Amino acid sequence: MNTIPIPRIYVYRQIIEAKLFIDANFHEKINLELIANQACFSKFHFHRLFKECYNKTPLEYLTYLRLNKAKTLLSKGISIQEVCSSVGFESASSFIKLFKKNELMTPLEFSKMRTIKRKQIEQNPLNFIPTDYAQYLGWKI
């Protein structure tokens, strides 16, 4: 049986569409099979192609998105439980464990650190302007 080769541009478009699907739905309960179905590939073939394009597996990318959004929400003072459910983690314990593994601190420690930094910025904003930039503007710090 002869098969017609699929043009690479089609493959890349499908991978990009799948990435955009992850971007739009990272907070939902999505898995490799669902994402691969969006791209119209088997999950094994899709996994390989996605990693080839983005140097991350689809699930590594999904975790990356979720953790970045979690950091943004934690920085705003939102509770760990709310953050956990907002970004698509099913349990707080798995979220905390994964966050600590990636950020080398717990979400609570991260949140406290950001609160302290936010207060420092409010009290003395000039301390947070890069010296080179201030000198460029002619400021004396």
d(CA 38, CA 49): 14
Sign of the alpha-carbon torsion through 44, 47, 49, 55:
negative
Q: The pTM is what?
A: 0.80
List pLDDT tens digits, range 68-118.
Answer: 999 999 998 899 999 998 999 988 898 999 999 999 999 999 999 998 888
Return the structure tokens found at 87.
Answer: 């970004």
List pLDDT tens digits, range 35-82.
Answer: 998 888 898 999 999 999 999 999 999 999 999 999 999 998 899 999
Sign of the alpha-carbon torsion through 54, 97, 70, 108:
negative
CB 86 within 8 A of CB 73: yes
pLDDT of residue 2 exceeding 60: no
| C-alpha angle 52-89-74 in degrees, rounded to nearest 5 | 100
CB 64 within 8 A of CB 54: no
